[in-house]
Amino acid sequence: MEQVKGILIKFIVSLIAFWIALDLFFDASISDIISFAVTATAVSYILADRILLPRLGKKNTLMAEFILIYMIVWIFGSILLNGYLQIAWGSIISAGIITAGEVFVHQYLLKNMPERKKVKRQHRRFRQPSLRYATEFAEEQDPRDKKKK
């Protein structure tokens, strides 16, 4: 239930951001705004909030989410909208507003996110050395040695 609240908050933030960025400044229809909000909410929740947030933390996830929203609006906007100026400024404005709102969404999700099982991972790169030394003894073989056995 807490995850549904997080998705709903994220959808409302996206809806407000796209309304401001695409409808208030430019001429976008309500279906465009809702489709942008649904797409951005679904993709950013799965990629950013479920995968990146637990692994990278809040700051890095916000940077990744800004780029993700910018790319979603740019790609999806080039299909639906017909002006490069509208797509460019709409992408920047909406990505900035959504990133500002995501600060609060990430705090809420981190507080209410179910704990994952902590698995003790062994880092193979930095293992403790096993102080067992192997020594090999052999006779010296010199190719210039004239006497052969």
pLDDT along the chain (149 residues), means of 10: 87 93 82 92 92 90 94 86 78 92 90 64 57 70 67
- Residue 36 near residue 73 (C-beta atoms within 8 A): yes
Give the CA distances from residue 52 to residues 43, 48, 112, 133, in Å, rounded to whole numbers and listed in that order: 12, 5, 16, 42
For residue 119, what pLDDT is reported?
A: 46
Which 3 state secondary structure label does DSSP give 61? helix
Q: What is the pLDDT of residue 131?
A: 66
Q: Check residue 45 and give its pLDDT.
A: 93
Q: What is the CA radius of gyration of the chain?
A: 28
Sorted by where each begins, the domain ranges of the chain are 2-23+31-112
The pLDDT value given to residue 14: 93
> How confident is the model over 55-87, as pLDDT tens digits?
888 999 999 999 999 999 888 888 877 777 778
Q: Judge residue 94's burial from the number of C-beta atoms within 10 Å of its C-beta, 0-12 exposed, 13-18 middle, 19 or more buried.
A: buried
Q: Give pLDDT, residue 89.
A: 84
